């Protein structure tokens, strides 16, 4: 009996073994067999337009290239068929680039069939567990899956085996000003810094905090304290009492949960209101869906 295939979405192997991408019949429109490993001409292979990695380190490529010249490519790349003798990389682009740099004319490739949606998911799953993929690249990948594959965050969570809150935290990074995104991409700040800063609603205030982080090499804990102070200023004129800590923590949880700006008003007597911001009709529908799903 043929072994039962693993569920889609728990890793690259699971997706590659999906019935949707597993075709082992002969490829009658080209020179290779779909579902098998072949030594393939590099000239008929193109890179993956869905590649979530934005930058490839040239030094790393050069080192891998020297290794390939001596040892060859140990692990085949994976490609999908586009047409007659035309293929596109699903995974292994770094190996492919290094092979071309080493002037190899052919590379070992495992041939699959996948549509654009599967390509995007395959590229994402292969990359999100890599240590050298930065938080912004992961955020962009998650957002593309949601928008281009028309998935909710809950659906994406099930597809890739990640907690919905984790996905939400990454996607929120895309709402940061360009200067902060550049700093995050360039490792000037960490994701922890960015998660703290994003709770500040004023762009100029966010940039001031960024400048302070870089100049004083602040820890995430120090930035969180700065943000709490800005979110809950003390009025010297009226000597208002600060929000209790639980309200600040609760607000941060709501921001993470709904992936949007949240405001809290509270009187000295303890009454108040919560304001949840939405950017569009679709964003409103998304928030309502989250509320309804938690009943």
CB distance 65 to 58 below 8 Å:
no
Question: Residues 6 or more apart from 278 whose CB is under 8 A from it?
Answer: 260, 284, 286, 287
* φ, ψ dihedrals at 158, nearest 5°: -70, -35
Block residue for tokens 């693993």: 6
Query: N- to C-terminal Cα distance for the chain?
Result: 43
Tell me, yes or no, if 225 is annotated catalytic: no
Total residues found in the chain within this entry: 295
H or E segment to which residue 137 belongs: helix 135-148
Structure tokens at 28: 């009658």
The token pair at 218 is 């602040």
**Catalytic residue from among 62, 63, 70, 93:** 93
Q: Is 272 helix (H, G, I), strand (E, B) or coil?
A: strand
d(CA 243, CA 232): 7
What is the rounded CA–CA span in Å between residue 292 and residue 175?
Answer: 25
* Residue 241 falls in which region: left (phi positive, over 0), alpha (psi -120 to 50) or beta: beta
Alpha carbon separation from 263 to 3, 106, 192 (Å, rounded): 53, 58, 21
Could you tell me which of 235, 237, 171, 230 has the C-alpha nearest to residue 206? 230
Return the biggest CA–CA distance within the chain.
81
What residues act catalytically? 93
């Amino acid at each position: 009996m043929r072994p039962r295939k693993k569920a889609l979405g728990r890793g690259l192997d699971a997706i590659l073994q999906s019935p949707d991408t597993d075709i082992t019949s002969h490829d009658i429109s080209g020179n290779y067999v779909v579902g098998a490993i072949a030594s393939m001409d590099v000239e008929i292979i193109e890179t993956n337009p869905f590649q979530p990695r934005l930058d490839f380190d040239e030094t790393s490529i050069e080192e891998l290239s020297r290794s390939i010249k001596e040892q060859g490519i140990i692990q085949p790349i994976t490609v999908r068929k586009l047409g007659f003798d035309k293929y596109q990389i699903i995974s292994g682009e770094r190996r492919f680039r290094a092979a071309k740099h080493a002037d190899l004319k052919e590379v070992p490739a495992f041939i699959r069939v996948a549509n654009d949606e599967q390509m995007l998911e395959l590229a994402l799953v292969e990359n999100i567990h890599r240590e050298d993929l930065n938080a912004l690249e992961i955020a962009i990948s998650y957002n593309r899956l949601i928008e281009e594959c028309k998935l909710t965050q809950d659906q994406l969570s099930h597809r890739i085996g990640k907690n919905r809150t984790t996905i939400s935290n990454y996607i929120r990074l895309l709402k940061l000003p360009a200067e902060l995104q550049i700093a995050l991409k360039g490792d000037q700040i960490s994701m922890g810094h960015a998660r703290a800063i994003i709770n500040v609603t004023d762009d100029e205030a966010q940039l001031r905090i960024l400048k302070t982080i870089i100049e004083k090499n602040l820890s995430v804990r120090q930035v969180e304290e700065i943000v709490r102070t800005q979110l809950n200023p003390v009025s010297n004129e009226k000597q208002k009492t600060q929000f209790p800590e639980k309200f600040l923590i609760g607000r941060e949880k709501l921001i993470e949960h709904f992936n949007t700006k949240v405001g809290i008003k509270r009187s000295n007597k303890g009454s108040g209101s919560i304001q949840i911001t939405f950017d569009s009709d679709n964003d409103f529908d998304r928030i309502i869906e989250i509320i309804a799903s938690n009943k």
